Copies of this chain bind each other. A is one copy, B any other.
Amino acid sequence: MKSKEVVLTGDRPTGPLHLGHYVGSLCNRIQLQNEYDQYVMIADVQAMTDNYDNPGKVRENVLEVMADYLAVGIDPAKTTIFIQSMIPEIAELTIFYLNLVTVSRLQRNPTVKTEIKQKGMEKSIPAGFFMYPVSQAADITIVKGTLIPVGEDQLPMIEQTNEIIRSFNRLYKTDIFQEVKALVPKVGRLSGLDGQAKMSKSLKNAIYLGESEDDLKKHVMSMFTDPGHIRVADPGKVEGNIVFEYLDTFGNDLTKIQELKDHYQRGGLGDVVLKKYLLEVLNEKLTPIRERRAELMTDKAELMNLLLKGTNKTREIAAQTLKEVKTALCLDY
């Protein structure tokens, strides 16, 4: 029997998912769906907060993300996958929550501060982006989520959600919402191909789950290794060498990986040989995902059907939650 905890997580559909997502969240979800009542939201409304000038991009990636989910093994029979914009109750709840948060509190949110800097929006922050932590509190609580898988950098969002929940329960003398717990996964982030930062679509340093064998080969062959390892005979560094980071993450043959590390450090092991082995390891992992994904994308109507089924289920829960909220707010006409 599943635990009573409700997991809410999701992705902004701004591009297909990559190995960074696989390591950072997808693998975790495949486990969580067996233990918990799990909701996965395709956050098209949130994606619009910084893609409002390109809604077509958001739309076309909804099914891409859905295909990624199913290809890696998120099972719609175990996980409720839904489209955010089709749950109007989230917008309604957001509007009520906005009364419980001050502008200066939002200005202090460290996650938002960092993202504003990253996106160069200091001078003109769209109000929608500015208040997205409030909208996230609504995403979580509309399904009465209690366990939220997040990275360390997202912990302030959980704190904001709990502040809203406490204010709501106190002001409206109710207990319809329980404070939520962050679930920070053990497996952390995956470096990008360039070794400069975590893998990210916007940094163009990503390996996509659905990319072709050719693209994968190009990507692996371009990977950052040890800039001091110039001739094959030179000793090379393992630390900071992205190829070894990936082998540690995706490889199963630990003995072989240790041998390669030793050989590389002694000198005499070329990058090309090393990368060819990583390519083998990644292909073993990605070929079934790539094939399942391609198969899924041949029937987009069916993919959308599955998504609408999860959305309808979520809508029922959301309507029930909003009913309770409106009763607490004396807006139950």
Q: Does A55 contact B (CB under 8 A)?
A: yes
- The answer to whether B95 and A91 touch across the interface, beta carbons within 8 angstroms, is yes
Q: Does A183 contact B (CB under 8 A)?
A: no
Q: Which residues of B contact A1 (CB under 8 A)?
A: none
- The answer to whether B99 and A331 touch across the interface, beta carbons within 8 angstroms, is no
A100 to B48, CA, bound (A): 10
- The answer to whether A95 and B127 touch across the interface, beta carbons within 8 angstroms, is no
Partner of A333, one of B83, B91, B326: B83
A52 to B83, CA, bound (A): 29
Q: Does A166 contact B (CB under 8 A)?
A: no
Give A255-284 as 1s and 0s: 1 = Cβ < 8 Å from B's Cβ atoms.
000000000000000000000000000000
Partner of A127, one of B52, B86, B88, B134: B134
Q: Does A230 contact B (CB under 8 A)?
A: no
Q: Which of chain A's residues 96-120 have a Cβ closer than 8 Å to chain B?
A: 96, 98-104, 106
Interface hub of A101, A124, A333 (most chain B Cβ within 10 A): A333
- This chain: copies in complex: 2
Q: Does A59 contact B (CB under 8 A)?
A: yes
Q: Does A65 contact B (CB under 8 A)?
A: no
Partner of A326, one of B52, B85, B131: B85
Q: Which residues of B contact A130 (CB under 8 A)?
A: 103
Nearest CB to that of A129 among chain B residues? B99
Q: Does A49 contact B (CB under 8 A)?
A: yes
Q: Does A58 contact B (CB under 8 A)?
A: yes
User: In angstroms, how far is the closest chain B Cβ from the Cβ of A130?
Assistant: 5
Partner of A55, one of B44, B49, B83, B172: B172
- The answer to whether B125 and A44 touch across the interface, beta carbons within 8 angstroms, is no
Q: Does A203 contact B (CB under 8 A)?
A: no
Q: What are 16 A-B contacts with C-beta separation under 8 Å?
A: A48-B99, A49-B98, A55-B331, A58-B330, A85-B331, A85-B333, A88-B89, A88-B92, A91-B92, A95-B128, A99-B127, A99-B128, A102-B124, A104-B124, A127-B134, A131-B131
